[in-house]
Structure 1
Amino acid sequence: MAKQRVGVIGGGQLAWMMGLEAPKSGVEIVVQTPQKTDPAVPTAADCVLAAVADAVGTKALSDRCDVVTFENEFVDLLALAPLETSGVQFCPRLAALEPLLDKYTQRQFLAGHGLPNPPFVTLDDTIANDAVADIAAPIGFPLVMKTRRLGYDGQGTFMIASASELLTTWQRIERPPVLLEAFIPFEKELAVMVARSPSGEIAVYPVVETQQVNQVCRRVIAPAAVPEAVQQRVTAIAHTLIEALDFVGVLGIELFLAPGDEVLVNEVAPRTHNSGHYTLDACETSQFAQQLLAVTGQPLGSTEMTCDRALMVNLLGFETSTSDYAEQRAQLSQIPQAQVYWYGKQGARPGRKLGHVTVCLQAEDDWQNILKKIETLWYPLGES
């Protein structure tokens, strides 16, 4: 019997890892991606060479697979809607994606379902310059300004200290629609991955701590060292959100842990997520295998960890180069229990996610010393 085929819109490292995990789920993947050199092409059974937002390309993709899912949010929902109407099965449904792709409507959706948000407002091009300060006043300063669409890894995100800086920065980026939200003096940043099947079965992964450098995730520590009550609150948020969206697949939720153990949602990613990479080596079912199980209607796998603790460190670009960093990767692979994942991207640049390292640990292991060793091997002096 032929294997089920899952079409994946996007051909970056997330789709590449889905392809690595596809045999465990008994499926094959077909990717829609612009270049034959994109990371996911080698692990896919087939590919459609087309831009991510190209609905004609997605129609060709749908002709080669049983169900279509997403690796990123850079899609055109209006253009995809006729395909869904004609019978193309998208998982998650386009209606489940719609409130999440715009950061302002995402905040509105969360608030509408009683989920904890920072205070927020929006600015768009109908707002006069002399009204900007009044609109921001209920938020107060400092605040965070985010472009409402297409931002990732800190792109389109600005820390704003004053009303004058807000107006100057907004004008400098040519006044796109932006979200303004209160700056949260968090104690930790947390994340959780949650999956849901078409039958409504839900599986929640452990709550993890994420650590950012220059607004890009550098490290993930699983599980997070937080009180049980915080873990339960995050798990409850995950259940409420994925059910409210009627979402099928894997969803990533980033959160702030504020003083007093208050939990607030930072952002929601409607797909597999960087904060869940540790699951490849440290959980019974990885987030990538889980995504494929969910969208093909199979029973979800266990999310239990297979070690006491896991450390995931992103290998971020620190220079503009065409190097494959073979020597550094060989040294990293010599660290006990370390698994090195290299995405095969064509060229490095500062902040670009080139790969990651996962280390599975026992409770007594000194994870902070191992973290220091990884970052010393990878980053030039002064960069870590």
Structure 2
Amino acid sequence: MKQRVGVIGGGQLAWMMADAANALGIELVVQTPNPDDPAVAIATDTILAAVDDAMATAELAKHCNVITFENEFVNLEALFPLEQQGICFYPQLSSLAHLLDKYHQRRFLQGLGLPVPEFADVDLPVFLPDFAQLGYLEFPIVLKSRRLGYDGQGTFILKAPAELEGVMEQMANQPLMIERFVPFERELAIMAARSISGEIITYPLVETQQEQQVCRRVVVTQEFDSSITQQAEAIARTLLESLQVVGIFGIELFLTTDGQLLINEIAPRTHNSGHYTLDACVTSQFEQHLRAVCGLPLGKPQLLADTAVMVNLLGFEHSDSDYLSQRQQMADIPNAHVHWYGKTVSRPGRKLGHVTVLLNQTSPASARSQALDLASTIESIWYP
């Protein structure tokens, strides 16, 4: 009998598990609210319900051996009784409890001795008049919603105290945290997985490029100094070992001008910065995650090309177009792999697909510039 994995969430991250699941002989059962969500098309069974509906998750558990997560929009308090009844969740709920609230995540990481920006809890009605007392924070500062923010939503980079008033109105009654703005040289990311037996693997360290706090490009080269790579791998191993977690994590990092790494955020799941692994690595992040949660040996994370670049295809208009012409043009680029998520509605900023291009025989000196040139070519096709 095939092993069945329940996935809470039916977006593109669950959808991209399909090929790996087929190859491993695993069936996916998805809990998601909308029948047109991407993963519904590839699931063996679907529970149509909100991702934070614990009663639906109890039903999901009847159809699978283990339950995992595509996103963090879950109600942990409602899920803990299910775990106590013997339902298996990977990553474990106790691990997620340290990470879903960004302020709690920061405190947990700090307690492990891992490097993070200076931060503080914030109660805006009290915080605004007392702002001057937080003398260790200078503008610009970063204000974040502690829960449910993604793709830049709920994150504000404020350049002056006067900007706080507008944010206070927009984020009224939401728990917030504040961070020192990090004048980083680059933003980096690393994917890491841990198995049930405790085996840990890390993927190559990559550069991520954001615009309006949304990931636009991921550049995969082998240019980083060994000291930087070793810092990233040590951070990943310390985190996964401390949590004793099972599954794959995405770790977003700031590289400072003096060559140090600071943790930006932790994603306890497959992650946009790891999409390149579908085409550029021996084992994709999606296969690796399924291997981990199903108790299988972890796969090899090695690159299949010298260099790779991944470009997100973001919506730029309200439309129901499938953008077939643009996708065909991008597919004609040598060694390009176009992934279209099958979403029926486009809106500005929505992730509709991504393109990964592999480059071989690139020199370390020119790899990044070649990758960025290709990213520009893709974006000139995609954006009007």
TM-score (norm 1): 0.96
Distance 1:128 1:311, change over 3 A: closer
The reply on whether 1:270 has 2:268 as its aligned counterpart is yes
Per the alignment, residue 141 of structure 1 pairs with 139
- Residue 126 of structure 1: how far off its partner (Å): 7.3
Q: Distance in 1 between matches of 2:197 and 2:23?
A: 21
Per the alignment, residue 373 of structure 2 pairs with 369
Per the alignment, residue 210 of structure 2 pairs with 212
Q: Give matches, 1:101-250, under 5 Å.
A: 101-124=100-123, 127=126, 129-134=128-133, 136-223=134-221, 225-250=223-248
The answer to whether the 8 A contact 2:124-2:168 is kept is: no
The answer to whether the 8 A contact 1:123-1:132 is kept is: no
Q: Distance in 2 between matches of 1:361 and 1:130?
A: 54
Q: Give matches, 1:277-292, under 5 Å.
A: 277-292=275-290
The answer to whether the 8 A contact 1:52-1:74 is kept is: yes
Instruction: List runs of 5+ in structure 1 lacking aligned partners.
Output: none
The answer to whether the 8 A contact 1:32-1:49 is kept is: yes
SS in 2 for 1:322: coil
- Residue 60 of structure 1: how far off its partner (Å): 0.8
Amino acid aligned to 1:51? A
- Residue 176 of structure 1: how far off its partner (Å): 1.7
RMSD: 1.3
Distance 1:210 1:28, change over 3 A: same
- Residue 245 of structure 1: how far off its partner (Å): 1.3
The answer to whether the 8 A contact 2:32-2:49 is kept is: yes
SS in 2 for 1:243: helix
Distance 1:75 1:332, change over 3 A: same
Amino acid aligned to 2:210? Q
Distance 1:125 1:376, change over 3 A: closer
Cα distance per residue 1:11-67 (max 9 Å; x no partner) = 000000012221222211110001111000111111111100000110111100000
- Residue 157 of structure 1: how far off its partner (Å): 0.7
- Residue 125 of structure 1: how far off its partner (Å): 6.1
SS in 1 for 2:108: helix
Per the alignment, residue 91 of structure 1 pairs with 90
SS in 2 for 1:233: helix
The reply on whether 1:329 has 2:327 as its aligned counterpart is yes
- Residue 223 of structure 1: how far off its partner (Å): 3.0
Instruction: List runs of 5+ in structure 2 lacking aligned partners.
Output: none
Per the alignment, residue 309 of structure 1 pairs with 307
- Residue 141 of structure 1: how far off its partner (Å): 1.4
Cα distance per residue 1:128-174 (max 9 Å; x no partner) = 6422442x432221110010000000001111122332244223321
- Residue 346 of structure 1: how far off its partner (Å): 2.1
The answer to whether the 8 A contact 1:197-1:299 is kept is: yes
Per the alignment, residue 15 of structure 2 pairs with 16
Q: Distance in 2 between matches of 1:44 and 1:98?
A: 28
- Residue 224 of structure 1: how far off its partner (Å): 5.7
- Residue 371 of structure 1: how far off its partner (Å): 1.6
Per the alignment, residue 379 of structure 1 pairs with 383
Q: Distance in 1 between matches of 2:9 and 2:155?
A: 23
Amino acid aligned to 1:209? E
The answer to whether the 8 A contact 2:110-2:116 is kept is: yes
SS in 1 for 2:59: helix
Q: Distance in 2 between matches of 1:161 and 1:367?
A: 32
Q: Distance in 2 between matches of 1:343 and 1:91?
A: 25
TM-score (norm 2): 0.96
Q: Distance in 2 between matches of 1:184 and 1:254?
A: 13
- Residue 345 of structure 1: how far off its partner (Å): 1.0
- Residue 363 of structure 1: how far off its partner (Å): 3.4
The answer to whether the 8 A contact 1:103-1:148 is kept is: yes
The total of aligned residue pairs comes to 378
Task: Calculate percent identity across the aligned residue pairs.
Answer: 56
Distance 1:369 1:172, change over 3 A: closer
The answer to whether the 8 A contact 1:132-1:167 is kept is: no
SS in 1 for 2:16: helix
Q: Distance in 2 between matches of 1:205 and 1:292?
A: 16
Q: Give matches, 1:35-74, under 5 Å.
A: 35-74=34-73
Q: Distance in 1 between matches of 2:337 and 2:151?
A: 23
Amino acid aligned to 2:78? A
Amino acid aligned to 1:85? Q
Amino acid aligned to 1:376? S
